[in-house]
Amino acid sequence: MKPHMPGVLVTDALLRKSLAAVRSLGRSGYPVTVAESTRFTPAGFSRYCGERWISPSPVDSPDDYAEWLIGRAKKQPGLVLMPMDEASVRIVLEQERELAPFSWMLQPSLASFRLAADKYETARAAESLGMACPKTVRPSAEAELLTFAKDNGFPLVVKPLHSSGSRGIRIVENEAALRAAYAQVTADFGEPPMIQQYIPPGERLDAALLIDSEGRTAASFVQREVRHYPVKIGPSTVQESIEAPELVEQAETLLRKLGWRGIAEVEWMRDPRDGELKLMEINPRYWNSLHLAIQSGVDFPLLHVRLALGERVEPVRRYRIGQMTRNLLPGDLLHALSVRKVRGLQPPLFGSRGLPVEDDILSWRDPMAAAGFMMSCARYALDAGMWRSLLKR
């Protein structure tokens, strides 16, 4: 480790994307600290993690988390802040004035983040650019809700404006179910949801971009989602690197409209009825299959830290195609159990059979990360909220 290299604080250490970031930065010589509301985390047990800090939960106690983070930044000035999930990113942006004098960061403006995090605003932005996306409405009254259903037919999708993975999404088949789902999602999330035209499950593709402080693309990467849990609408459990420059171009156009800086992932799904790719949402944060991009040659965390420190980097647009990442624990194992199929999966559930596939937690080079995952499972076996965190995209 070089003595002059600044420390990096990686938040949300329970998530496997945080483990990927810790491994990346630790291998490059950066002293890495992780933060989470528990000590039992994959990233915290990684050989590449220097310190583990216990923090309040950014989801359950955002005010306490903000106070804690500002205090830490003042005590240890010069840290590079890498908030990894939506709640922690939001708090960093809300407290940017307090944090900026003591920390390095490359993040979007709060206004840009709010637009990207709002699925309805994302759909509106995409439509204004002429991009294909499902018909979407945010009803202000029940009459508007029923009019949209009448015009578009069932099934329809009731979707929270702010959520990750499949959390809160309801597929409804009739008017009674629509009314009930609309009321339930409103109650669960504290705001009315949007209603979206249903697209039958199809191929899902994701484009990830890192935008520098001047609005230029510093790195781009595209992946195909191979398997999911839950099977039809859940986060991916296996991914494959692919080449799709047209999706990178669309993602750049959309993020440029939002004035984006920093990291983001844009998602599409192919409509099997007409074969057209339709934009679904923006993830204004790191995504949980981050390991695949790093494995394929696009080291987003390392580039992100270097840009946050004011360094110039050569744009990275070329990477290895056909690489695969699997999340065996727990996602892909749950996929196999749900489809009642262990043999015959490609890539296989266990091992590689000669395919370029790696697990994003299990690693002989960093075995204690898996121990941290198992400890977190044992510690929070009955905590539904913690399991949602472990399963999310």
Q: Any idea what the Cα angle at residue 344 is, between residues 343 and 346, rounded to 5°?
A: 120
Indicate the class that CATH gives domain 204-362. alpha beta
pLDDT grade for 386, boundaries at 50, 70 and 90: low
Tens-digit pLDDT profile for residues 219-240 = 999 999 999 998 988 899 999 9
How many CB atoms within 10 Å of residue 359? 17
pLDDT given for residue 388 in this prediction:
65
Q: Supply the mean pLDDT for the chain.
A: 94
Average pLDDT of the residues in 288-314: 97
> How far apart are the C-alpha atoms of 361 and 368, rounded to whole Å?
10
CATH 3.30.1490.20-classified regions of the chain: 135-197
Judged against a pLDDT cut of 60, whether residue 188 lies above it is answered with yes
Residue 1, pLDDT > 50, answer no
Domain covering 1-105+364-393, topology: Rossmann fold (3.40.50)
Write the class of the CATH domain 135-197.
alpha beta
pLDDT greater at residue 303 or residue 381: 303
| HSE value, Cβ hemisphere, 13 Å, CA-based, for 127 | 11
Task: Give ranges for CATH 3.30.470.20 in the chain.
Answer: 204-362
Residue 389 has a pLDDT of 60
Q: pLDDT, tens digit, for every residue of 155-171?
A: 999 999 988 767 889 99
Query: Sign (positive/negative) of CA torsion 98, 103, 108, 113?
Result: negative
Distance CA 256, CA 211 (A): 9
pTM: 0.95
Residue 269 or residue 342, greater confidence = 269
Cβ burial, residue 225 (10 Å; 0-12/13-18/19+): buried
- Which position has the higher pLDDT, 362 or 234? 362
At 154, phi and psi to the nearest 5?
Answer: -100, 160
Q: How far apart are CA 99 and CA 308, in angstroms?
A: 14
Residue with the larger pLDDT of the pair 377 and 60: 60
Q: What is the DSSP string of 238-273?
A: EEEEE--HHHHHHHHHHHHHTT--EEEEEEEEE-TT
